[in-house]
Structure 1
Amino acid sequence: MRTSRFRRGLALFWWLIVAFLYLPLAVIVFYSFNAANSAAYFAGFSLRWYQRLAHNDQLLGALSNSLILGIASSLIALIVGTLIGYGLYRHRARRLGWLIVLIYLPIVMPDIVFGISEMTFFVTLERHFGVLGPSLLTMIIAHVTFQLPFVALIVYSRFVGLDPTLFEAAKDLYASPWQRARHFLLPTLKPSLIAAFFLSFTLSVDDFVISFFTAGPENATLPIYIWGAIRRGVSPEINAIATLMIATVMLAAILSLLFNRRDRPGRDS
């Protein structure tokens, strides 16, 4: 009797948590189809705001900047972060406490402090050397700096979970460094590399503070555009943008789940 009550209590608690997390998103989706010009009241269903998004050049430009920024910074962070993670694993026997602190620092540092420091650094370089003025390039550099720790730690944790004798076995089979990287390291690290890339891309697309301090006048990203538009009030157009982002994330999650089920061992048994 007590067990059944406890389970019902846990189920009720679970649904309350789900409602707390997703009801605000449901409200945004609902009002994105609002026919009224204001989100203060609902005047019937309409797709007018989605049609306006397709003809909004500023929004499309911001979306393009976000995609370029996210993909470019994530690829650079993936390459450099993988090398850092491998270096941490190769020299794990040494005392690298100071290096671990440097890696964790961008993770625990408040975004506004990190953004202001990046802005000051780039402004100083531009003033004295005439390079790296606020632009998409400075945003990419800034994003790489806070993506690197996540990639390095993910790759390092994957290396730590490997059997060290696998590296010796590859050498005993006379595999060259390129062959070890191509036929052993890359296939082994593939799940971690994919996870690190998508995590970096998500952090980049989601970032507002650091992008705001390092962006140029013509390089607004989607979060910066939404922030500028929301200062004039929350409109159904903003809700439509948020709905499209929610749908994209849900689609990515569903595809990831389907791929995981397809690659799961024993699926044909």
Structure 2
Amino acid sequence: MTKRTFRRALAGFWWLTLLFLYLPLAVVALFSFNAANSAASFTGFSLRWYERLLGNEEILSALANSLVLAIVSSLIALGVGCLIGYGMYRHRHRKLGWLIVLIYLPIVLPDIVFGISEMAFFVKLHELTGLLQPGLGTMIIAHVTFQIPFVALIVYSRFVGLDPTLFEAAKDLYASPAKRARHFMLPTIKPALISAFFLSFTLSVDDFVISFFTAGPESATLPIYIWGAIKKGVSPEINAIATLMLGAVAVAAILSLVFSRRRPA
């Protein structure tokens, strides 16, 4: 096999992989504009299913819960994860292997195990204290717990990429810790913070398993609503909801990528 043939084979494999990954998403988006009442066949383009979404109070409630959950949990995870990431950087020369394991554990732990453990904890805590009844509050706490490691690692990687002498220079200029944080560290890691927020937002909007185990009767999110509605069959309305979610997640992912590649002047 010549070098040119090998490159063509790799290019063909690349396009087949992309087709395998995104063709199902394209089909969902296409059938969300289906004029027919069934998703079995495509009869023409129509926006009727998107119009129906605007009049469905149950879907709008699920959308509101998803946005509140994603925004609030992302902001909390951003604050806590930023502090953990900076702490990891400050003490990076010490033997903190156990801390690294604790940070990575929520990332590699299966969602089903994580969700069941969170549910069991909240149920037992509610029985003992009467606090944290399953609902939006418990969902926010559960989402924060798996978002924090992603934020901490992103912030830590940004700090590691900085020249250590910059911190010493700020001290030599008699900048107080508050001024160093405000005028040096925060502007420097701003792209990392923005990308970490959008990544956390994407993870929250996309999550189903952990949300399902920690949700209450009045706190259904869009993924939970879709799971319940799909039992009756895949309708163009479900395709429309899925398409909107795909668009929101895609925008958040693109913004995260853009800001993560930016470097301060």
TM range (shorter): over 0.9
Deviations, residues 161-182 of structure 1 (Å, cap 9, x unaligned): 2111111110000111111011
Supply the distance in 2 between the matched residues of 1:250 and 1:28 (Cα, whole angstroms). Answer: 15
Supply the distance in 1 between the matched residues of 2:89 and 2:225 (Cα, whole angstroms). Answer: 41
Look up the SS of the partner of 2:232 in the other structure.
Answer: coil
Q: 1:2 to 1:253 in 2, by over 3 A?
A: same
Which of 7-16 and 174-183 deviates more? Answer: 7-16
Contact 2:195-2:260 within 8 A present in 1 as well: no
Unaligned runs of at least 5 residues, structure 1: none
Supply the distance in 2 between the matched residues of 1:260 and 1:110 (Cα, whole angstroms). Answer: 27
Q: Per-residue deviation at 1:100?
A: 1.5
Contact 2:89-2:159 within 8 A present in 1 as well: yes
Supply the distance in 2 between the matched residues of 1:18 and 1:218 (Cα, whole angstroms). Answer: 38
Say whether 1:78 aligns with 2:72: no
Which of 31-40 and 81-90 deviates more? Answer: 31-40
Which of 38-47 and 120-129 deviates more? Answer: 38-47
Partner of 2:156: 156
Look up the SS of the partner of 1:35 in the other structure.
Answer: coil
Supply the distance in 2 between the matched residues of 1:88 and 1:191 (Cα, whole angstroms). Answer: 19
Supply the distance in 2 between the matched residues of 1:137 and 1:205 (Cα, whole angstroms). Answer: 16
Supply the distance in 2 between the matched residues of 1:265 and 1:208 (Cα, whole angstroms). Answer: 36
Q: Per-residue deviation at 1:253?
A: 5.8
Deviations, residues 149-170 of structure 1 (Å, cap 9, x unaligned): 1111111111112111111110
Say whether 1:135 aligns with 2:138: no
Partner of 2:202: 202
Supply the distance in 1 between the matched residues of 2:88 and 2:176 (Cα, whole angstroms). Answer: 21
Partner of 1:218: 218
Supply the distance in 2 between the matched residues of 1:68 and 1:104 (Cα, whole angstroms). Answer: 26
Q: Per-residue deviation at 1:4?
A: 3.1
Partner of 1:38: 38
Supply the distance in 1 between the matched residues of 2:225 and 2:60 (Cα, whole angstroms). Answer: 10
Q: 1:182 to 1:121 in 2, by over 3 A?
A: same
* 1:176 alignment partner AA: S
Contact 2:199-2:252 within 8 A present in 1 as well: no
CA-atom RMSD, angstroms? 2.2
Unaligned runs of at least 5 residues, structure 2: none
Matched residues, percent identical? Answer: 77
Q: Per-residue deviation at 1:23?
A: 1.2
Q: Per-residue deviation at 1:260?
A: 8.7
Q: 1:149 to 1:129 in 2, by over 3 A?
A: same
* 1:114 alignment partner AA: F
Partner of 1:91: 91
Give me the TM-score of the superposition, normalised by structure 1: 0.92
Look up the SS of the partner of 2:168 in the other structure.
Answer: helix
Look up the SS of the partner of 1:194 in the other structure.
Answer: helix
Supply the distance in 1 between the matched residues of 2:158 and 2:39 (Cα, whole angstroms). Answer: 47
Partner of 1:227: 227
* 2:63 alignment partner AA: L
Deviations, residues 61-85 of structure 1 (Å, cap 9, x unaligned): 1111011000100000000011011
After TM superposition, list the pairs within 5 Å mapping 1:20-59 onto structure 2: 20-59=20-59
Q: 1:119 to 1:248 in 2, by over 3 A?
A: closer
Say whether 1:110 aligns with 2:88: no
Supply the distance in 1 between the matched residues of 2:18 and 2:82 (Cα, whole angstroms). Answer: 36
Q: Per-residue deviation at 1:264?
A: 7.9
Supply the distance in 2 between the matched residues of 1:76 and 1:59 (Cα, whole angstroms). Answer: 26
Look up the SS of the partner of 1:231 in the other structure.
Answer: helix
Contact 2:115-2:210 within 8 A present in 1 as well: yes
Which of 170-179 and 13-22 deviates more? Answer: 13-22
Q: Per-residue deviation at 1:223?
A: 0.5
Supply the distance in 1 between the matched residues of 2:46 and 2:52 (Cα, whole angstroms). Answer: 12
Deviations, residues 135-159 of structure 1 (Å, cap 9, x unaligned): 1111100100111111111111111
Supply the distance in 2 between the matched residues of 1:157 and 1:255 (Cα, whole angstroms). Answer: 18
Partner of 2:19: 19
Give me the TM-score of the superposition, normalised by structure 2: 0.93
* 1:151 alignment partner AA: V
Say whether 1:187 aligns with 2:172: no
Say whether 1:247 aligns with 2:247: yes
Deviations, residues 95-129 of structure 1 (Å, cap 9, x unaligned): 21222111111111111111111111111111111
